[in-house]
Copies of this chain bind each other. A is one copy, B any other.
């Protein structure tokens, strides 16, 4: 949470001259976004998010991310929309950085998701998967099997600093996932980071999804697995089968899951928890002194991984309920 790049009144005033979005009323840096600088911009016309992409984002990926958001909005998804300037351009430059003006999406993220929130997320995710099926660009998932292998190599020597036995667990799981990761499931564009932070609700109604900056092409059901990890465990570590069941029910209301996808749910959930375990472990072991971003505890995902390793049947995720 940080403003890495300070935009002055003069710079934003000049920038806005390229748009038909009214006169500036206010610009305030917001304490959100781990990777980028974000401002709330208010003009005489509306509110917006102004995003400046910092160095952790590959500029070559921006046409994919912004193009995807634009595509989804046009297909009727509840997603913040990139705003075009007078020349129809979305991706601009501000303060020497790639930048984009994004429509402001009303709503708040929920701190403790309930089963109803999970149901709505499932539905919205499936709608998004279907809507993205004719999106013209693609982007590989750098955090899939090959990426996990790299992270294992970078973390293994110090893994036991976080939990005794973690190094062995990483190797064991990596070996399993490498040899069992499914290759025949339906793929498409996934959000890949649908944590509660990135899903807004107005009251109890889902108002939209934000932050597509991990979106990529991968197994569609893997997106469900990521969100089951993020939404369906309680604070005490217990898996809430009711929430998982509701999420799956919401999903299949819009896009049926095949028997093959359901049968693979356990390994997809293992992969999803392994992915977040590894990235959190890497960040934990490589903390930058004085960094503005709070590092998340990786051990939460050790527990989740262990849960999925013990799952014997897809019914344990509650689809039959």
Interface residues of A (CB under 8 A from B): 1-3, 8-10, 12, 23-32, 40, 42, 47, 104, 106-112, 201-203, 289-292
Contacts and interface: CB of A to CB of B under 8 A. Distances in A.
A118 to B, nearest CB: 16
Given A3-B1, A30-B31, A9 B47 contact: no
13 contacts: A1-B2, A1-B29, A1-B31, A2-B31, A10-B111, A26-B104, A28-B30, A28-B40, A30-B31, A31-B31, A42-B47, A42-B106, A290-B291
Given A8-B111, A30-B29, A289 B292 contact: no
B26 A29 contact: no
Contacts of A111: 8-10
A270 to B, nearest CB: 30
Interface centre among A9, A10, A23, by most chain B C-beta atoms within 10 angstroms, is A9
B24 A3 contact: no
A56 to B, nearest CB: 18
Pick from A10, A28, A201, A291 the residue with the most CB of B within 10 Å: A28
A27 B197 CA distance: 12
Nearest to A111: B8
A107 to B, nearest CB: 7
Contacts of A9: 108-111, 201
Task: Give the 3 A-B residue pairs with the shortest CB-CB distance, closest first.
Answer: A8-B111, A9-B108, A29-B31
A285 B42 CA distance: 38
Contact of A25 (B1, B26, B29, B202): B202
A111 to B, nearest CB: 4
Contacts of A25: 106-107, 202
Contacts of A201: 9
Contacts of A1: 2-3, 29, 31
Nearest to A25: B106
A53 to B, nearest CB: 17
B108 A24 contact: yes
A1 B107 CA distance: 23
Most B CB atoms within 10 A — which of A10, A31, A202? Answer: A31
